[in-house]
A and B are shown apart, each in its own frame.
Chain A
Amino acid sequence: MCPTADEEVRRLLRQGLTHYGFAEVDKAIECWEAAQRLDPGNQAARDYLENAYDEVGETSKSADPSLSQTNADSAPSIRVLTDKDDTPAAEFELNLEEGDPDTLVAAALHAYKNGDLDEAWQQLQVASDQDPDRLDVQGYIQLVRQQRAKQWAKDIGDQDRTLGLKCSMGELMNMRMKPDEGFVLSQIDGTLTIAEVLSLGTFDRVRMLEIIAKFISEGIVE
């Protein structure tokens, strides 16, 4: 594959991630399939497509033995694409340094595939801090964010129930919370349902879900 094709593969992979992050899975699949046609052995394209096929229910494709799940332990040597990579296509297998954004993205992908959303999130946050302009990282953050929201909503359960504070003010003062958590806590007074608290247009709904799930799991509210 010539360097120009390599750039096109990278572009398609990132464009696909951006679509994926905004829940445009079909468009994401189109991009990744186009990337795979240009570079049939591209592991990243395979991984992304496997996830996407799973999501849209194309099990026959995702069950393809050639799209085997990568071992998370091998994350640092996974085939990934990077803007800064000037190596010829034939030598695309990278040896990545720990903490390098590409390594972090790869590790995040593996964590995600293994269902460890918190780990994936942390890796991506670090990657984003290191290189805020990487569209693929932002797209992937959106993807993981949505998955985490689904998980928290599941953990919370029935959103039509009301919550009340379970611990005393003294106990609360000994805890460690962020101001947004303090704000959500102030809205939990036994009168509003969880759905109503979530509907308050105060800040990001996903963050609200995270905070409420945390309060429930830590026994702060019930």
Chain B
Amino acid sequence: MARIIGIDLGTTNSCVATLEDGQLVVIPNTGGYKTTPSMMAVTDNGKRLVGHLAKRQAITNSKNTVFAAKRLIGRGFDSAEIQRAQALLPYEIVEGPNNDARVRINERDYTIPEISAVVLREMKRVAEEHFGEKIEQAVITVPAYFNDAQRQTTKDAAQIAGLDVLRMINEPTSAALSYGFGRADTGKFAVYDLGGGTFDISILQMNDGVIEVLATEGDTYLGGEDFDRHIVEHLVQAFWDDNGLLLENDTMAIQRLKDAAEKAKCELSELTSTEINLPFIANDAADQPLHLSTVLERNTLNELIGPLLERTRKICESALNEAGVSASEIDQVILVGGQTRTPLVQEMVAEIFGQVPSKGVNPDEAVATGAAIQASMLGAGEAGPLLVDVTPLSLGIATAGGNFARIIERNSTIPTARQEIFTTTRDNQKAVKIKVLQGESDKACENDLLGEFVLTGVRTAPKGEPEIEVTFDIDASGIVSVAAHDIETDQEQSIQVNPRGTLTPDEVKKLADEYADDDIELKD
């Protein structure tokens, strides 16, 4: 039987796991780390770096190092998210031929799925090295709020990486699956996931092996990277105070400060203070070497990150409200993401939910191990916890007057299929255009267009008479298919939605072929 791996494709770090002889195993990379930075870089001589090596030069080679590609995946170039990313990210984002966003490095344009594919391929390689066999199938996790385009594009990335995605599952569901592994817990759970670049809160219901996502909310620009940035700013200020020299434009110095900040942050999860020593970080006006040597206290860290954590409080309250439950009704809070090791985060979560959060899962690994559990069940056809996920955004079609007709409401459980009957708006209308939309606005133009198609052969009749049944189908991975059927003439048209901002099947195949023989530098 072919082996199937579980992959947590994170914004900042990725992780691969498997279930071996009933034991969950997180597979370490070549450097011995259990997580790998989701980064790709290209050096001046055209060599591609992945993982920790890419991270080590992310600041000094910032224009050629791509990180947080997950924020860009499946989004149209003109979307607000891409425009925001353009302003914040150091690498160049350009428009591709499908209105998709691409990253330009050394005059070559990389598609976003291609960049994610490089990371996925590295995770595949790590697993293949571990098992000494070829791996071709995976379960991959995605944020619960990912829309159809983002899910579809993640699947494309996997295909480019040479992986067949048997199932995509939502990250909080995966973490809950990991938490529930070997237990028989029942009740309402909150999954507080604070990773390197994003924050997500999900409210779930677990009952007799059934896991249902009740609501999910998040902030795609809030995570440990922000903690690091605040520490770096603090260190730059301290160095200025001591030496009168500003380091903020010195990329080598900032890279060292960033590395030191991350290390200090981790140490402060255990200690109340830690030393930071960076010898020869700069030279003064007389060309004499200067060193940065300081002590960072946990209290100082708390002051720096406190305002960031306050933002998570509001998002948690909103998610509870959306799920229709109060904080006191939550039976257990599961912490996910490396940043939840920070004591202040744990204190804040305890305050929000009125209880000490569970430490029942490894926060760095829970999402990947949940995917591994799902992979194992799919591979063996075993019975196990049933995942009941929800669609994060409402789905529907555009109707006369520019209105949005919802067919599947937000937070509906998936897989699901629903139908609605529509009719024509003009006499003798022979065709209807079906515009498939996703979003929460009542105005069609304010929602995301996923795709469109035309149903022809409609019976010639006065307006309002023909009956056209529109069916939306969302599979267990959250991928949307839409069909329109004229009940009287039996004419039918359907599409699997290939949204704007994603690659065509031919483009995906071409990239998959290119990367199949690509000798890239895959190091961690």
Contacts and interface: CB of A to CB of B under 8 A. Distances in A.
B56 to A, nearest CB: 6
A182 interface: yes
A187 B56 contact: yes
Interface string A158-195: 00000000000100110011111111011100011000
Contacts of B71: none
Contacts of B381: none
Contacts of A178: 280, 283, 289
B521 interface: yes
Contacts of B45: 205
B31 A191 contact: yes
A186 B259 contact: yes
B252 A183 contact: yes
Contacts of A173: 279, 291
Interface stretch (B57-65, B85-93, B325-333): B57-65
B44 to A, nearest CB: 6
A200 B39 CA distance: 13
A65 interface: no
A183 B41 CA distance: 19
A178 to B, nearest CB: 7
Contacts of B259: 186
A182 B61 contact: no
B523 interface: yes
A201 B279 contact: no
Interface string B50-73: 000100110011001100000000
A202 B280 contact: no
B252 A202 contact: yes
A183 B255 CA distance: 9
Interface in B474-512: none
B57 A200 contact: yes
A178 B277 CA distance: 16
A202 B255 contact: yes
A121 B61 CA distance: 28
Contact of A179 (B65, B252, B277): B252
Interface size class of A (residues with CB under 8 A): 20 to 34
A85 interface: no
B361 interface: no
A182 B44 contact: no
Interface string B241-279: 000000000101101100100000000000000000111
A203 interface: yes
B43 A182 contact: no
Contacts of A169: 277, 279
A201 B41 contact: yes
B496 to A, nearest CB: 40
A93 interface: no
Q: Which of A173, A177, A202 has the most CB of B within 10 A?
A: A202
B282 interface: yes
A186 B57 CA distance: 12
Say what secondary structure dominates the interface of chain A: helix
A182 B279 CA distance: 6
A82 interface: no
A199 interface: yes
A196 B65 CA distance: 16
B304 interface: no
Interface string A72-106: 00000000000000000000000000000000000
A196 B61 contact: no
A182 B41 contact: no
Contact of B280 (A177, A187, A199, A200): A177
Contacts of A203: 60, 252
Contacts of B282: 179
B49 interface: yes
B25 interface: no
A203 B253 CA distance: 13
B281 A182 contact: yes
Nearest to B292: A182
Contact of A199 (B53, B60, B253, B283): B53
Contacts of B283: 178-179
Contact of A182 (B64, B278, B521): B278
B283 to A, nearest CB: 6
A190 B437 CA distance: 53
B293 to A, nearest CB: 9
Contacts of B523: 196
B47 interface: yes
A179 B31 contact: no
Interface string A196-222: 100111110100000000000000000
A125 to B, nearest CB: 16
Given A178-B280, A183-B256, A191-B31, A201 B44 contact: yes
A84 to B, nearest CB: 32
A201 B43 CA distance: 5
B279 A199 contact: no
A177 B252 contact: no
Q: Which of A179, A180, A185 has the most CB of B within 10 A?
A: A179
B261 to A, nearest CB: 13
Q: Which of B42, B278, B280 has the most CB of A within 10 A?
A: B280
A161 B469 CA distance: 67
B258 to A, nearest CB: 11
Contact of B289 (A177, A183, A200, A202): A177
A202 B60 contact: yes
Contacts of A200: 43, 49, 53, 56-57, 60-61
Given A177-B280, A183-B253, A192-B53, 15 more contacts: A169-B279, A172-B279, A173-B279, A177-B289, A178-B289, A180-B252, A182-B256, A183-B252, A196-B523, A199-B521, A200-B56, A200-B60, A202-B61, A202-B252, A203-B60
Interface of B: 31, 41-45, 47, 49, 53, 56-57, 60-61, 64-65, 250, 252-253, 255-256, 259, 277-283, 289, 291, 521, 523
20 contacts: A169-B279, A172-B279, A177-B279, A177-B280, A179-B253, A179-B282, A181-B280, A182-B280, A182-B289, A183-B60, A186-B259, A186-B278, A191-B31, A199-B49, A200-B56, A201-B41, A201-B44, A202-B255, A203-B60, A203-B252
